[in-house]
Structure 1
Amino acid sequence: MSTLAIVVSLILLIVLAYRGITVLLLAPLMASLAVLLSGEAGLLLPIYTDTFMSALGGYLIKFFPLFILGALFGQLMADSGAAHAIANWIIKRLGTRHVVLTVVLACAILTYGGVSLFVVAFAVFPIGAALFRETGTPKRLIPGAIALGSFTFTMTALPGTPAIQNAIPIPFFQTTSFAAPGLGIIAGCLMLGLGTWWLQSRASKAMRQGEDYGHHPNEKIDIAEVPVIGTVAAFTPLVMVILLNGLLTYWILPSLDFSQLPEARFGALDPNSMLGLWAIIIALLISCAWLVVTRWRHWADLKETINKGCFGSMLPVFNTASEVGYGAVIASLAGFVVIRDAVLGLAPGNPLISEAVSMNVLAAITGSSSGGMSIALSVLGDDYLRMANAVGLNPELLHRVATIAAGGMDTLPHSGAVITLLAICGLTHRQSYPNIAMVTIVVPMITLVAVITLGTLFGSF
C-alpha cells in the first residue's frame, strides 16, 4: 500500500504542477498525501516538521549561495550590456551564413560563463529573431536553438560550468565542477554537433519547401536600451568565472589549512565535500564585484539591478528545496524500499545505469534537472557512491553521468523552463516543442549512452 501511495502522490504532483500550481504548496501537500495513504497519519506532523523541513533547510544551507550569486551575476551581465554585447559580437563574426549556430553559440558562451538561462533567453531572442527574419529562417526553430545553447551541454556536460546542475553532485561524491573533464568535453561536442546538425537540417528542409520566417502579427520584440560596453570588457567577467573556478579548485583552496573543520563546532564538516562548491561561490562573488566596480559610472540603477537579481533567485531555490523535502519524505516511507531496490537492481555491476535511470525519471516527474537530481542524490547518493567504490569506479564518473542524465528528461512539456522559453519567443508547444525535444531530450540521451559506454570501458578521464 505504501508503494502505491508514493506512485499516486507522484502522479498528482506531475498533473497539478503541469496545471500551474506552485511546487511550494504541492510538495508538502503531496508528501502529506503519501504519508496518509501509507497509513502513518499519526506521524504526519513530525514527518513534516522534521523530515520535510530538515531536508529543505539542509538544501538551502548548501546551495542558496550558488542560486543567489548566479542570479545576481546574470542580472549584472544583462543590465551592464555585457550579455547583449557578447551576443552581438558572435553574430557579427558568424554573420547570416550560420544563423542556427550563431544563436546556439551566443547562448552557450553566456551560460557557460555563469549567466542564468532565463536571462540569456531574454537577451538573445530579440537578436536571434531579427537574424532569422533577415535570412528567411522559420521562427519556430528559435526556441530549439536557444534551448540547445542554454539547457544542454553548457549546463550539464562541459567541465567547470558554474551551473547549479554541475554543483549539486559535489558534496555527495566529493568531486569538483571539473569532474571527468575528458568525458565532459566529448559529451559537450556530441550535443553541440548533433543538436546543431538537426536544427540546421530542419531549417534547410523547411526553406526548400518554401517556408520562411512566418507571419507573426502579435509578435512584440522588446529591444531594451542597454549600456554600451566594449567586447573585451563584456567577456572579462565570463572568463573570470571559469579561470577563478579552476584556480580555486586545483591550487588555492587545496593549499589552505582546513584541519579544524572536522571539529564539532563546524559540524564535523569534511572539507573535501565542500571545496568544489566554495570555489564556484568565490568565483561568482569576485566576478559580480568586478562588474559592479568596473561599470560603476554606467549603472542606470544599480540598487534595482542587485535587488532584481537577488529576488529572482528566491523562487527557483525554494522550488528545488521543496522538491528535495518531498523526496526526503518519500524516502522515509516503507514503500520506498521496494522502489529503491528496483532502481538499484537495474544493473548490479554498473551503478551508472541505475543512476542514469533514476535521474531521468525524477527530472521528468519534477520538470526540473536540478530538482530531479537533488531528490535522487539525497535519497540514493550514498548507495551510488558505495556501489561505485565496490566496483572501483571513480566518483567523478558518477558526477558527470548524474549531470548529463538529469539534463535529459527534464524538458518534457510541463517543464517550467520550456514553458517560459516558449512564452518569451511567442510560440506554442505545437509549433516548436518537437525540435526542443529533439535537441534537449533525444540528443542528450544519445550522448548519455555514449558517456556511460566510454566510462564503463575506459573509466573516468
Structure 2
Amino acid sequence: MILGLIGILVSLMLLITLAYRGVTIVVAAPIAALVAMMLSGAPVLANYTEVFMPALADFIGRYFPMFLTGAIFGRMMTMAGYATDIARVITRWLGPRRALLATVLTTALLTYGGISVFVVVFVMYPLARELFRAADIPRRLIPGAIAHGMLTFTMTALPGSPQVQNIIPGQAFQTTTFAAPGLGILGGTSIFVLGMLWLEYRKRRLAAAGEHFADLTVQEQRSGVAPTRHAQAKPGPGAARVGETAALARDDASRQDRAQEPGDEAAETLTPAHHVVSFLPILVVFLLNFGCITLLFPAMDWGHLQDEEYGGISLQDRAGTWAVLIALVGAILSILALNLRHVRWLLQGLTEGARSALLPIFNTASEVGYGAVIASLAAFTVIRDGIFGVTGNALASTALSTSTISGVTGSASGGMTIALNALGDDLRQLAVDQDISLEAMHRITAMASGGLDSMPHNGAVITLIIVCGMTHRESYKDVGIVSLVIPVLVTAALIPVVLAVGGF
C-alpha cells in the first residue's frame, strides 16, 4: 500500500513536470498513469485498455459537442468582427483610461457568452494591448486582466455560464447551469470586485515604480527588440519551452490576424454598422439556455428517456448539457442569419473551429483517463478516506477534493471530472443525508474547480502568458492572485454561508 501511495505521488509530480515543460497532456497523462500502475503492481495493459481509454472516450462522448460548438461559435464571432466590435463598444463606454475594467468586462462578456477560454485569449490580446497602450499601463498586467475575465467568475460562478466547468457538476448532481443563482451571483460579484481591487492596486504600484507600457518585456530584451517595436511584440524565443501549446497558440493567433487584417475585405465588410448587432449572438446564448431549462424542456414529454436504448436516464441528467448545446447552435445560426451575404466565407469557421476544439478536449479527456486509473488503484482508497476524514461536511469535501485534484492536473474540467467520477456518488449521498441543497453542491464544486487549477502548469495560463508575450516571472503573480488565490478564498468563505442560510 505504501509503495502504491508513493507511485501515485510520483506520477502526479511527473504529470506536473511534463505539462510545465510543454509535453502535450495527450502523451503526459498515459505516461504518468503508467508510472503509477507499475509502482502499484497493477496490470498495465488491462488498465490502459479497460480503464484509461473508456474514461477518456466517455468524457469525449459527453462533452465534445460543447467543445465543438463553443469553438465554432468563437471562431465565427471573430470572423464576423463581432468580438472586436464588442470590445470597442465597451471601451467607448468606459473610456481608454479604464483599460483594466474594459479588458476584464469584455473578456467576461465573451466568456459568459459561450466563447471557449482557449479562443478568448486570441481575441482579447490585441484589443487589450491597444487599451493598455492608450492608458500607459505596463503590459505585464495584460495576462492578469484577461485571466480575471475568463478564468474566474464567468467560468464557474455566474449562473447560466455555458462553459463546460459549469456543465460538468450537473451530471453528478442532476442540476442545470443555473443552479444556486443567488449563491453564484454573490460568489461571482465577490471575485470580480476583489480581482479588480488587486489589479488597480498593482497598476498604481507599478506606475509608482516608474513602469510604463513601452518598457521592454523579458522576451524582447533577450531577442534584442528595439523600444520602437514594442507595439508589435510577439511571443519570443522563450515560448519554445512549452512545445506544442506554444506552437498551437502562435498558429491560432496567426490565423486570427489574417482573418482581421485591414486588407481582408470580407472581414471589413462584416463589421456591423450598428454595434448592437454584435451583442445579439451572445444574447441568443443566454435566452436559449434559460428558455430551454425554464420553459421548453418542462413543457415536453420525456418519457422515452426511460427506454433501455436511451440508458434509462431522466431529463435532469441531461437538461443542462442539452440547453447549452441548443443555445450555442442557435447562436451560430444567428451569426449566419445576420450575415447572409457572407455565409460561404463564414462557413470556413466550421473547419477551423472544429480543428481548434480537438486538442483542448483530448487534453482534458486524457487527464480524466489518468484520474480513472488512479482512482482504480487500491492505494487511492487511502486518499479518498483521507479527504472525507478531514471533514465530514459534503460542501467542504467536494470543494477540497475538486480543488486539490484540479490543482494537481492543472485543469478545472479535468480535475472536477476526476473528483466526481471517483467521489460523486458518495458526495451526493452525503449531501442528501446532511440536507444540503444539490444546487449548492453544484455551485461550490464548480467554483472550487476554478481555483487551484490555475497553477503555473495550467494549459490556459501557459497559452495566455505566451500569447501576451510575457514570462511567468513577469505576469504569473497577478494571474495567480486573481484566478487562484481570490477564487479559493471566496469559495471557502461561501461554504459557512450556505451552511448557515442554506442554498439560494
TM-score by length of 1: 0.96
After superposition, the C-alpha distances for 1:403-424 in whole angstroms (9 at most, x for unaligned) are 1111101111111111111111
Question: Are the equivalent residues in 1 in contact too, given 2:394–2:434 (CA < 8 A)?
Answer: no
Cross-structure match for 1:370:
413
Q: Distance in 2 between matches of 1:446 and 1:33?
A: 34
User: Residue 334 of structure 1 aligns to which amino acid in structure 2?
Assistant: A
Report whether the alignment pairs 1:259 with 2:296.
Answer: no
Any gaps of 5 or more consecutive residues in structure 2? 217-226, 234-256
- State the Cα RMSD in Å: 1.5
Q: Distance in 2 between matches of 1:228 and 1:98?
A: 24
Cross-structure match for 2:194:
194
Q: How far 1:148 moved relative to its partner?
A: 0.3
Report whether the alignment pairs 1:280 with 2:324.
Answer: yes
Q: Distance in 1 between matches of 2:46 and 2:129?
A: 53
Report whether the alignment pairs 1:314 with 2:358.
Answer: yes
Please give the residue correspondences for 1:88-167 in structure 2 after superposition, counting only pairs within 5 Å.
Answer: 88-167=88-167
3-state secondary structure, aligned to 1:288: helix
- Higher mean displacement: 302-311 or 63-72: 302-311
Q: How far 1:300 moved relative to its partner?
A: 7.5
- Higher mean displacement: 57-66 or 23-32: 23-32
Q: Cα gap change, 1:194/1:300 in structure 2, threshold over 3 Å: closer, same or farther?
A: farther
Q: How far 1:33 moved relative to its partner?
A: 2.2
Cross-structure match for 1:247:
291
Report whether the alignment pairs 1:20 with 2:63.
Answer: no
Please give the residue correspondences for 1:296-307 in structure 2 after superposition, counting only pairs within 5 Å.
Answer: 296-298=340-342, 301-307=345-351
Question: Are the equivalent residues in 2 in contact too, given 1:128–1:142 (CA < 8 A)?
Answer: yes
Q: Distance in 1 between matches of 2:39 and 2:314?
A: 38
Q: Distance in 2 between matches of 1:124 and 1:174?
A: 34
After superposition, the C-alpha distances for 1:156-214 in whole angstroms (9 at most, x for unaligned) are 10000000100011111000000110010011111111101111111122223332213
Cross-structure match for 2:487:
444
Q: How far 1:118 moved relative to its partner?
A: 2.9
- Higher mean displacement: 114-123 or 321-330: 114-123
User: Residue 63 of structure 2 aligns to which amino acid in structure 1?
Assistant: F
Cross-structure match for 1:411:
454
User: Residue 262 of structure 1 aligns to which amino acid in structure 2?
Assistant: Q
Q: Distance in 1 between matches of 2:204 and 2:7?
A: 49
Q: Distance in 1 between matches of 2:461 and 2:71?
A: 19
Question: Are the equivalent residues in 1 in contact too, given 2:12–2:408 (CA < 8 A)?
Answer: yes
User: Residue 443 of structure 1 aligns to which amino acid in structure 2?
Assistant: I
Q: Distance in 1 between matches of 2:24 and 2:76?
A: 27
Cross-structure match for 2:73:
73
Q: Distance in 1 between matches of 2:204 and 2:40?
A: 55
User: Residue 447 of structure 1 aligns to which amino acid in structure 2?
Assistant: V
Q: Distance in 2 between matches of 1:32 and 1:57?
A: 18
User: Residue 41 of structure 2 aligns to which amino acid in structure 1?
Assistant: G
User: Residue 169 of structure 2 aligns to which amino acid in structure 1?
Assistant: P
Q: How far 1:121 moved relative to its partner?
A: 2.1
Cross-structure match for 2:376:
332
Question: Are the equivalent residues in 2 in contact too, given 1:351–1:384 (CA < 8 A)?
Answer: yes
User: Residue 429 of structure 2 aligns to which amino acid in structure 1?
Assistant: R
Q: How far 1:278 moved relative to its partner?
A: 0.7
Q: How far 1:260 moved relative to its partner?
A: 1.8
Q: How far 1:299 moved relative to its partner?
A: 5.3
Cross-structure match for 2:32:
30
After superposition, the C-alpha distances for 1:36-58 in whole angstroms (9 at most, x for unaligned) are 21112xx3222211111111121
Q: Cα gap change, 1:30/1:94 in structure 2, threshold over 3 Å: closer, same or farther?
A: same
After superposition, the C-alpha distances for 1:47-98 in whole angstroms (9 at most, x for unaligned) are 2111111111211221111111111111111111010000000000000232
Cross-structure match for 1:435:
478
Q: Distance in 1 between matches of 2:156 and 2:472?
A: 24
User: Residue 139 of structure 2 aligns to which amino acid in structure 1?
Assistant: K
Q: Cα gap change, 1:447/1:224 in structure 2, threshold over 3 Å: closer, same or farther?
A: farther
User: Residue 61 of structure 1 aligns to which amino acid in structure 2?
Assistant: G
Question: Are the equivalent residues in 2 in contact too, given 1:78–1:119 (CA < 8 A)?
Answer: no
Q: Distance in 2 between matches of 1:34 and 1:421?
A: 31
Cross-structure match for 2:276:
232
Question: Are the equivalent residues in 1 in contact too, given 2:69–2:329 (CA < 8 A)?
Answer: yes
User: Residue 310 of structure 2 aligns to which amino acid in structure 1?
Assistant: F
Question: Are the equivalent residues in 1 in contact too, given 2:80–2:346 (CA < 8 A)?
Answer: no
- Higher mean displacement: 213-222 or 155-164: 213-222
3-state secondary structure, aligned to 1:169: helix
Cross-structure match for 2:437:
394
Q: Cα gap change, 1:46/1:210 in structure 2, threshold over 3 Å: closer, same or farther?
A: closer
User: Residue 192 of structure 1 aligns to which amino acid in structure 2?
Assistant: F
Report how many residues are paired. Answer: 458
Q: How far 1:427 moved relative to its partner?
A: 1.1
- Higher mean displacement: 255-264 or 298-307: 298-307
Residue number among 343, 348, 351 corresponding to 2:394 in the alignment: 351
- Higher mean displacement: 218-227 or 143-152: 218-227
**Higher share of residues assigned helix:** 2
Q: How far 1:147 moved relative to its partner?
A: 0.6
- Higher mean displacement: 450-459 or 275-284: 450-459
Q: Cα gap change, 1:156/1:316 in structure 2, threshold over 3 Å: closer, same or farther?
A: same
Q: Distance in 2 between matches of 1:224 and 1:418?
A: 26
Q: Distance in 1 between matches of 2:46 and 2:385?
A: 26
Q: Distance in 1 between matches of 2:85 and 2:344?
A: 17
Q: Distance in 1 between matches of 2:195 and 2:445?
A: 20
Misfit runs of 4+, over 4 Å: none
Q: Distance in 2 between matches of 1:424 and 1:14?
A: 21
Any gaps of 5 or more consecutive residues in structure 1? none
Q: Distance in 2 between matches of 1:417 and 1:314?
A: 15
Q: Cα gap change, 1:186/1:104 in structure 2, threshold over 3 Å: closer, same or farther?
A: same
Q: Distance in 2 between matches of 1:126 and 1:381?
A: 41
Cross-structure match for 1:383:
426
Question: Are the equivalent residues in 1 in contact too, given 2:406–2:452 (CA < 8 A)?
Answer: yes
- Higher mean displacement: 283-292 or 333-342: 283-292
